[in-house]
A and B are shown apart, each in its own frame.
Chain A
Amino acid sequence: MSHPALLRAVAAHGLAASTLGLPDGPLDDDAWADLLRGVRSQRLAGLLAEAVASGALEVTDSQLAEVIELHRAAIGSVLLLERQLQHSSAALDAAGIAHRAVKGAAFAHLDYPNPSWRHYGDVDVLLPTAELDRAVEVLLDAGHERRNPPLRPGFEARFAKSVELRVGANGAEVDLHRLLVPEPLGWWIVEGDLFADPATFTLAGQAVPAPSRSVRFLHACYHAALGFRPTRLVPLRDLVEAAGDPAFDWREAVTLAERWRGAPIVAHAVRTAMEAFALEPASGLWWWARGHRSDEPATRILEHYLHGTRRQTERSLDALRALPRWRDRAAYLSALLRPDRAYLEYRGVSAGDWWRQGARSLERRLRR
């Protein structure tokens, strides 16, 4: 874990099982500037503000003013995103399309003691695969815009993880996901599980549906394990918050993870959280994660992510291998090899450049 100890202590603030501590007395100017840089890049303003408000982190008057400003700005951004989530959710409801708010908004409102502790930078909505194309149409009619054209018509609803939209004067990003994580791991997740036993939170009186506690926990684990390197602290905190709820049933969550062939991903994420936040084992989940060993396909895919070798070519080859039917493999490969003209124009490449880039990438892959 390469994050500085102080930044990790801020990210762990309020976790009873963490042995990380905050310093006695205010930080000097250099240490404070370092901390603020980390807090901004990791979106930890809410936890820093809470550490200051609770008196766990002492600050000077000028440092206090900086935290107040930082927290207000972060909350302001979140409120604008919540407004967009309200609009998107209402439009989908009106069209009778089942959906779930996921990631930032769902974690903030359902898993944290106070939503002001958890900030995020976009709106994420999960949809059943069968509804993805219709949901895109509904939201385009409601004023959203596509960020980029599809690789090929029909590709997204058949193979892709998500469709990215933009909306509002500030260009808020609204990501419509049909998979929680990229293929092939996303294909192994049982869609019915994602929509079972929904939770609900309210935004200014409007009910917004979200996945069950177990699914939110697993999503946090996948996000932590497969996201940015080094692992970001917020998804790790998300999984600890979700697991910390007294109503959380870790055995149920592990059963789901095994059904999704993702147990190695979940075990890795839990172990990483324990290390990052110096957590004392507090439940059977931690012991399960410590003892988990596996040679499942997900372990090999996880290794690619951890060692930075999970590039597009690797991803595409894994996906091809995972597709059970030859017909699907042919359609997937055909879309990758011959993208739509609108997609190439958006990427600013010619069909020839696309081929050359793909060939170089494949050559590098085969040399390894």
Chain B
Amino acid sequence: MSAEAARRWQRRADVLWHESLGGVVLLPPEATDPFAVSAPAALLWEALAAPRDVDELAAAMSEPLGVPAAEVAEALPALLDELAGLGALREDP
């Protein structure tokens, strides 16, 4: 397993968020404005309630998305980086 794949992520407990039609709207502590994520990313947000690595997240999202876990796993690092960059995630040590 690569170092990237071994990283474990979890959503930050201090992010304000609500479900919305077709996704989730988030307001991390340092963000000035809320931002919306659409349905696939909302599934990721749900899966990030507990610390998980990319493979575990892909396995959790594969069935609801109807996409093989390997394909989901390929797309995940970019999405995780984006959410982490917005201050919505923390990396679990």
Q: Which residues of A contact B (CB under 8 A)?
A: 49, 52-53, 67-68, 71-72, 75-76, 78-80, 82-83, 86, 114-116, 169, 203-205
Alpha-carbon gap, A114 to B34, bound state (A): 19
Beta-carbon contact of B21 and A52 below 8 Å: yes
Please give, as numbers and ranges, the residues of chain A lying within 8 Å of B16 by CB-CB distance. Answer: 79, 82-83, 86, 203-204
Instruction: Using A204-B13, A204-B15 as known contacts, say yes or no to A75 and B20 having CB atoms under 8 A apart.
Output: yes
Please give, as numbers and ranges, the residues of chain B lying within 8 Å of A53 by CB-CB distance. Answer: 21
Alpha-carbon gap, A264 to B21, bound state (A): 39
In the assembled complex, the CB of B68 is this many whole angstroms from the nearest CB of chain A, namely: 27
Please give, as numbers and ranges, the residues of chain B lying within 8 Å of A205 by CB-CB distance. Answer: 13-14
In the assembled complex, the CB of B14 is this many whole angstroms from the nearest CB of chain A, namely: 5
Please give, as numbers and ranges, the residues of chain B lying within 8 Å of A49 by CB-CB distance. Answer: 20-21
Q: Look across to chain B and name the residue whose beta carbon is closest to the beta carbon of A108.
A: B18
Please give, as numbers and ranges, the residues of chain B lying within 8 Å of A78 by CB-CB distance. Answer: 18
Give B2-28 as 1s and 0s: 1 = Cβ < 8 Å from A's Cβ atoms.
000000000001111111111101110
Beta-carbon contact of B18 and A68 below 8 Å: no
Beta-carbon contact of B13 and A116 below 8 Å: no
Q: Look across to chain A and name the residue whose beta carbon is closest to the beta carbon of B17.
A: A79
Closest 10 CB pairs of A and B: A76-B34, A49-B21, A79-B27, A75-B25, A116-B18, A205-B13, A71-B21, A72-B36, A79-B34, A68-B22
In the assembled complex, the CB of A255 is this many whole angstroms from the nearest CB of chain B, namely: 35
Beta-carbon contact of A71 and B34 below 8 Å: no
Alpha-carbon gap, A241 to B86, bound state (A): 35
Beta-carbon contact of A114 and B19 below 8 Å: yes
Of A68, A80, A114, the residue contacting B27 (CB under 8 A) is A80
Q: Look across to chain A and name the residue whose beta carbon is closest to the beta carbon of B36.
A: A72
Extra A-B contacts (19), CB below 8 Å, given A68-B23, A116-B20, A204-B13: A53-B21, A68-B21, A72-B21, A75-B20, A75-B36, A76-B33, A79-B17, A79-B25, A79-B26, A79-B34, A80-B27, A86-B16, A116-B18, A169-B32, A204-B15, A204-B16, A204-B17, A204-B29, A205-B13
